[in-house]
Amino acid sequence: MKKGRLKRNILVIFWGIATFLVSLYFKISPKNLNNFTEIMSASLSFSAIVTAIFFASFSLIPSSGSNKLVSMMEDLGTDIKIMDRLLIATVLSFVSSLLSFIALFFDKEDTSSISIYLISGWLATTVMMFVSSFLVLRVLIKLVETYNNFKNIT
């Protein structure tokens, strides 16, 4: 699973680093975000829900070995790659929710350097989570399309 992980996630890493650097450049702090508390609260809720959904789907893939779709994934060797992508997306959504929770302890008028780094980290992990989630969905859609095409041929 570790083999090729960096190459598979280069797009996620690129967007995370770019977001972090841009938000540091513009010195985005809680004071710059309108409705800071509501944004962090919504981000915490959304990231927690995404974490739960990804954990559930991560546990379903290995347990449904009798399913033809899962058997096809195993034959193609994509089951491990999808599980790896799910794991990365799950970790990113968990980190995003953790950073959102920590950010709720900051005052909405705070402009300290630690709050700027925290908001930059939160933005970076949230963007990485969205990109990673999009890639997971894209792979799953392609897999289902391939399965439907294969099913229609036979």
Q: What is the pLDDT of residues 37-94, one digit of tens each?
A: 999 999 999 998 988 888 887 776 665 555 666 666 666 666 677 788 888 999 999 9
- Give the pLDDT confidence score for residue 20 in this predicted structure: 98
CA–CA separation, 117 and 31 (whole Å): 13
CA–CA separation, 138 and 33 (whole Å): 31
User: Domain limits of the chain?
Assistant: 1-152
Q: Which residue has the tokens 């402009």?
A: 111
pLDDT of amino acid 75: 67
For residues 124 and 16, the answer to whether their CB atoms sit within 8 Å is yes
- How do residues 2-40 score in pLDDT, each as one tens digit? 677 888 889 999 999 999 999 999 999 999 998 999 999
> Checking phi first, is residue 77 left (phi over 0); if not, alpha (psi -120 to 50) or beta?
left
pTM of the model: 0.84
Is the pLDDT at 128 greater than 80? The verdict is yes
Mean local confidence (pLDDT), 95-116? 94
d(CA 135, CA 86): 9
Token pair for residue 67? 């399913």
Exposure string for 117-154, b = 16+ CB within 10 A, e = fewer: ebbbbbbbbbbbbbbbbebbeebbeebeeeeeeeeeee
Pairwise CA distance, residues 121 & 101, whole Å: 13
Per-residue three-class SS string for 93-139:
HHHHHHHHHHHCCCCCCCCCHHHHHHHHHHHHHHHHHHHHHHHHHHH
User: What are the angstrom distances between the C-alpha of 151 and each of 14, 76, 145?
Assistant: 37, 15, 10
**Range name among 9-13, 23-27, 107-111, 145-149 with the lowest pLDDT average:** 145-149
